[in-house]
Chains A and B, each alone.
Chain A
């Protein structure tokens, strides 16, 4: 029994864990490390590091669990959850599409407001696509399971 479990872990779980680790590291590199490399901490007069870390945590977490449960209904559920969390996160960070910040420049305080509604709309659209994709994938998975004939 122990031998069977070890074999199962080696054959099924380990590749998934390895894939999830690589996928998580790749996502962290693209979402956090690459932007920080392009735009170092002090290049813009804004605190964009904190939101970037938060976003990286969300993306890496869902990338890892998505890979761990890929090809399952749970994986599809995490895919939908990821899309919803990202939509909510961007809405919260951008204050509903109007990103405003107060910048102290020498002795003057400058209020900056950037209307990123279009960008937000694109992010919402892409995540709605993701939700649709995961729903369809879940339906496909359920359909395949229900039509499988067990001949044993």
Chain B
């Protein structure tokens, strides 16, 4: 019996030493982790915008970091998920540095096809939830979570339509001048074709026209667009009505309605 007690004492001491050794070296390893997070970069891409978060992890500890997983979920102010991206680093062995970046592609066509016209016309903000997980020494799973807000600049902020003035163009058509102005708060340049369709208060289309616009980021646009209508339709033009605006770029097409008058 006494031998058993002695063996149990020895086993207890050994286990305590293991626990203490692991705890001390684990805390030391965590303190020697070098995590560098770069600035979030917003870059225009072929189909929208790409947010890139460069980061590097230097593992100067005693244990391997495994299954590093960085997940971001971008939602609009209504909570609709716009993007869910995951970056996985399978292993960071001790004494090594891993440089990588977490890239969040925002497909503007996909977003704008979801009837997010408000995002075109009004500045807003995206909520970004960040989840990070890793397996420390393949024994202690660690999870981090946080959230941040990214401002969104509307490409057609403060879109306004001025007073329509009509003048004769030729024997069959008249020319209507429509002053249009907006501010491009987006980080991308607005380059494309703006098509206008004018409807009177009875919802009859009476005129249409288009113009090529090129408004760099953070610049204002103010110009008069010319639309043409048949002579017999001049009388149908009412002092107020609706305007169907279609903006086309090689990447996306968006359309919305505005009131005039």
Q: Provide the A8-50 mask, 1 if CB < 8 A to any CB of B, else 0.
A: 0000000000000000000000000000001100011000000
Interface residues of A in 105-132 (CB under 8 A from B): 108-116, 118-119, 122-123, 125-126, 129-130, 132
The stretch of B95-103, B104-112, B139-147 in contact with A is: B139-147
C-alpha spacing A132/B5, complex, angstroms: 8
B55 CB, min distance to chain A CBs, angstroms = 14
> Does B160 belong to the interface (CB within 8 Å)?
no
Partner of B140, one of A39, A111, A118: A118
Q: A136-B1, A137-B5 are in contact. Are A110 and B23 (CB under 8 A)?
A: no
Tell me the complex Cα distance, A38–B23, Å. 12
User: Please, which residues of chain A bring their CB within 8 A of the CB of B27?
Assistant: 39, 44
Interface residue ranges of B1-47 to A (CB < 8 Å):
1-2, 4-5, 8-9, 11-12, 15-16, 18-19, 22-24, 27, 31
B144 and A132 form a contact (CB under 8 A): no
- B23's partner among A119, A129, A136 (CB-CB below 8 A) is A119
Q: What size tier do the contact residues of chain B reach?
A: 20 to 34
> Is the CB–CB distance between A126 and B24 below 8 Å?
no
| Interface membership of A139, Cβ < 8 A | yes
Q: Is the CB–CB distance between A115 and B142 below 8 Å? A: yes
Please name 12 pairs of A and B residues whose Cβ atoms are closer than 8 Å in the assembled complex, sorted by A: A113-B143, A115-B143, A118-B140, A119-B22, A119-B23, A122-B18, A126-B15, A126-B19, A129-B15, A136-B1, A136-B8, A140-B1
**B residues adjacent to A (C-beta < 8 A):** 1-2, 4-5, 8-9, 11-12, 15-16, 18-19, 22-24, 27, 31, 139-146, 148
Q: A residues engaging B (CB < 8 A)?
A: 38-39, 43-44, 108-116, 118-119, 122-123, 125-126, 129-130, 132-133, 136-137, 139-140, 143
